[in-house]
Amino acid sequence: MKKVLAMILALCMVFALSAVSYADDLVECDDVTLSFCCSAAETTCWAQMANVFADYVNERTTGNFEVEIYAMDQLTNGSQTEGIQAVCDGSIDLSAHSNLIYSNFDQRLNVVSLPFIFDNTEEVDEILDGAGYDALAPIVEGMGLHLMGIAENGFRHITNNQRPIESLADMKGLVIRVAGAQVLKDEYEAWGTNYTTANWSEVYTGLQTGTYEAQENPLPTADASSISDVQDYVTYWTGVYDCIFFTMNQDLYDSFSPEMQALIDEAGAYAANNQRQLEREGDQEVLAKWEEGGMTVSYLSDEAVQDFKDAAAGVPAKFVQTCVGLGFDQAEVEDMVAIFVGE
């Protein structure tokens, strides 16, 4: 009996010491509730990224760390640009928005979405986890933001309700809604479309009423807004890509202790990388679901891809000149383009 009691006491001491050790490893932090905005729906991995981030920090701090999610930029009436501005100003704490929307503040961020710069997601990771990150981070952080990680919106596939798009000729005259970024306008002009811009929150109704015939977006984003209900065809390609900047207001970040800042950076990188994988899994799941549901899926032949590339060959030079016209140094912009285009 004495041996049993001794063993129980010993185990209790081990558990007690383990609990003390675990508590010692926690980062000191008061209770915190942060606001997060994104342009995608609450069911997407954009919003899930905020939860993953919050859980990661919460498990490693003494306080209660929470994030309140406001999807579809509901705090700024659906305006993605105003959503970013609100984080810069500090009225919203965190955000996830595409580089295409960020280009309204700095055109250089459109470099990620130049035509056909990535053939696959392995190339995406190589650039965005390396030289690309180093080039983009100072631009984003110059806006009063702290960049916690680069997540993924993905390859922007084209859907429409007119015809399969399997060649450059099939794009001619298509009335397509594109995100309001100059590089997209230049690309879709080069490809012969009749493009227009609108907030994402307005696109479903526009497609439903016939204001637009087509739109371009990564499949999970489109599926979360039920785009397949009003579109019959999807072209699955690598023509245009965009990333997501996962950011925190810089003043807010500076208000945390160095230990907490390190944890925030660790959690941000983890959440962004996790989101990339979820986005890629979701891309394949949506493609299969749409095809099974009767949507026509088209892929471009090598010859067709080359035709699209040739038609948009002048876009990188036009991008450089746009940036130079805004006062940016030409050599610096060309160096950035070289990182992504590989020239």
Give the pLDDT confidence score for residue 5 in this predicted structure. Answer: 45
What confidence tens digit (pLDDT) does each residue in 203-222 have? 999 999 999 999 999 999 89
Q: What single DSSP character describes residue 27?
A: B
For the residues 256-281, what does the mean pLDDT come to? 98
Give the pLDDT confidence score for residue 198 in this predicted structure. Answer: 87
Is pLDDT of 18 > 60? no
Upper half-sphere CA count for residue 243 (Cβ side, 13 Å): 28
Upper half-sphere CA count for residue 337 (Cβ side, 13 Å): 22
Give the pLDDT confidence score for residue 16 in this predicted structure. Answer: 40
Q: Check if the beta carbon of residue 161 is closer than 8 Å to that of residue 214.
A: yes
Is pLDDT of 289 > 70? yes
The more confidently predicted of residues 198 and 58 is: 58
Environment class of 88 (CB within 10 Å of its CB; exposed 0-12, middle 13-18, buried 19+): middle
Q: Output the CA–CA distances (angstroms, integers) from residue 10 to 3, 24, 35, in the order listed.
A: 10, 21, 45
Give the pLDDT confidence score for residue 201 in this predicted structure. Answer: 80
pTM: 0.89
- pLDDT band of residue 165 (cuts 50, 70, 90) is very high
For the residues 9-24, what does the mean pLDDT come to? 44
Q: What single DSSP character describes residue 1?
A: -
Q: Check if the beta carbon of residue 259 is closer than 8 Å to that of residue 265.
A: no
Question: 293-328: b or e for each residue (b if 16 or more CB lie within 10 Å)?
Answer: eebeebebeeebbebbeebbeebbebbbebbeeeeb
Can you read off the two tokens belonging to residue 132?
């690309």
Is pLDDT of 14 > 70? no
Q: Which residues, 6+ apart, have CB-to-CB distance to 77 below 8 Å?
A: none
Give the pLDDT confidence score for residue 316 in this predicted structure. Answer: 98
Q: What single DSSP character describes residue 205?
A: H
Q: How far apart are CA 244 and CA 338, in angstroms?
A: 21
Sign of CA dihedral 86, 90, 94, 96: positive
Give the pLDDT confidence score for residue 342 in this predicted structure. Answer: 82
Beta bridge pairs of residue 160? 214, 233
Can you read off the two tokens belonging to residue 186?
């230049």
Q: How far apart are CA 38 and CA 144, in angstroms?
A: 18
Q: Check if the beta carbon of residue 197 is closer than 8 Å to that of residue 175.
A: no
Q: Check if the beta carbon of residue 156 is closer than 8 Å to that of residue 238.
A: no
Helix axes 258-292, 45-58, angle to 10 degrees: 150
For the residues 226-233, what does the mean pLDDT come to? 97
φ and ψ of 67, to 5 deg:
-130, 130
Give the pLDDT confidence score for residue 3 in this predicted structure. Answer: 52
Q: How far apart are CA 53 and CA 261, in angstroms?
A: 13
Residue in 220, 203, 201 with CA at minimum distance from that of residue 212: 203
How many residues appear in the chain? 343
What confidence tens digit (pLDDT) does each residue in 43-99 have? 889 999 999 999 999 999 999 999 999 999 999 998 999 999 999 999 999 999 999
What confidence tens digit (pLDDT) does each residue in 297-338 have? 999 999 999 999 999 999 999 999 999 999 999 999 999 999
Give the pLDDT confidence score for residue 263 in this predicted structure. Answer: 98
Q: Output the CA–CA distances (angstroms, integers) from residue 146 to 137, 265, 274, 342, in the order listed.
A: 9, 9, 19, 28
For the residues 279-298, what does the mean pLDDT come to? 97
- CA torsion 236→241→246→249, rounded to 10°? -140
Give the pLDDT confidence score for residue 1 in this predicted structure. Answer: 47
Mean pLDDT rounded to a whole number for the chain: 93
